[in-house]
């Protein structure tokens, strides 16, 4: 547990340029506090001390604004930035070096028992307000755009945006040694559609100009008729 905490501290130092030293991590980062309390609650849960585990989880939610079920599995080097509104469900699994921004939800669907929350692979970045729902897989190195709602599996190193979430880039660049945190400049899936609309509008304008000069409509009729 303490080795995992050391990795969590280093994750903050590596990924948040506003953090200057370890003391700031200990004092001022609620995402880190939530992870520390969760690791304690998880050990109690695995020891079948369910009431104490839920109590610590509830206290953590009150203090940090981050709700993590004590049964959830969290890897090393996880960074929860800002933290407020993050929810991680009971059967969720979060891999090593994952970055979660505020209001991310790793939630379930329906009332079924068993595995019902997502599994997040290592080195994934999930943007602010993203919702990943159901027992799906998010592959290693994937990026989930801010506000996306993901309802299907995500391939490794893919980029997902939109509601519902759609893959707009897959294996578009070589896997890097460092984690890409640039979740604010994702490709827009509407770009191609808007470009086509612009071309159609230009074509219509050309046809209207020809009809005005020639006195005929684009469909061959006489404008003065």
pLDDT digits (tens, 9 = 90+) for 155-193: 999 999 888 888 887 776 544 444 555 655 566 656 667
Share of the chain above pLDDT 90, in %: 60
Asked whether the beta carbons of 159 and 187 are under 8 A apart, the reply is yes
pLDDT of residue 224: 45
Q: What is the pTM of this model?
A: 0.75
pLDDT of residue 175: 41
Residue pLDDT, tens place only, 184-217: 556 665 666 778 888 888 889 888 888 887 665 5
- For residue 219, is pLDDT > 60? no
Q: Whole-number mean pLDDT of the chain? A: 86
Q: Which of 60, 89, 87, 58 shows the shortest CA–CA distance to 73? A: 89
Mean pLDDT of 82-108: 94
More confident residue, 16 or 172: 16
pLDDT of residue 119: 96
Q: Which of 25, 116, 28, 145 shows the shortest CA–CA distance to 77? A: 25
pLDDT of residue 39: 95
């Amino acid at each position: 547990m303490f080795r995992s905490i050391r990795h969590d501290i280093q994750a903050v130092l590596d990924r948040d340029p506003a953090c200057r030293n370890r003391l700031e991590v200990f004092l001022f980062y609620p995402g880190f506090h939530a992870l520390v309390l969760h690791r304690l609650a998880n050990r109690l849960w695995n020891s079948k001390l369910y009431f104490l585990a839920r109590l610590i989880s509830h206290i953590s939610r009150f203090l940090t604004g981050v709700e993590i079920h004590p049964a959830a599995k969290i890897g090393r080097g996880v960074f929860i930035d800002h933290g407020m509104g993050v929810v991680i469900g009971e059967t969720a699994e979060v891999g090593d070096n994952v970055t979660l921004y505020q209001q991310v939800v790793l939630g379930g669907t329906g009332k079924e028992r068993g595995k019902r929350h997502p599994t997040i692979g290592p080195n994934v970045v999930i943007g602010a307000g993203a919702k990943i729902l159901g027992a799906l897989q998010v592959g290693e190195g994937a990026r989930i755009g801010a506000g996306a709602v993901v309802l299907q599996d995500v391939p490794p190193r893919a980029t997902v945006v939109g509601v519902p979430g759609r893959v707009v880039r897959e294996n578009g660049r070589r896997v890097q040694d460092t984690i890409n945190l640039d979740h604010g400049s994702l490709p827009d899936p509407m770009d191609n559609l808007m470009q086509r609309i612009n071309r159609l509008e230009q074509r219509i304008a050309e046809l209207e100009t020809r009809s005005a000069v020639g006195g005929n409509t684009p469909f061959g009729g006489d404008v003065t008729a």
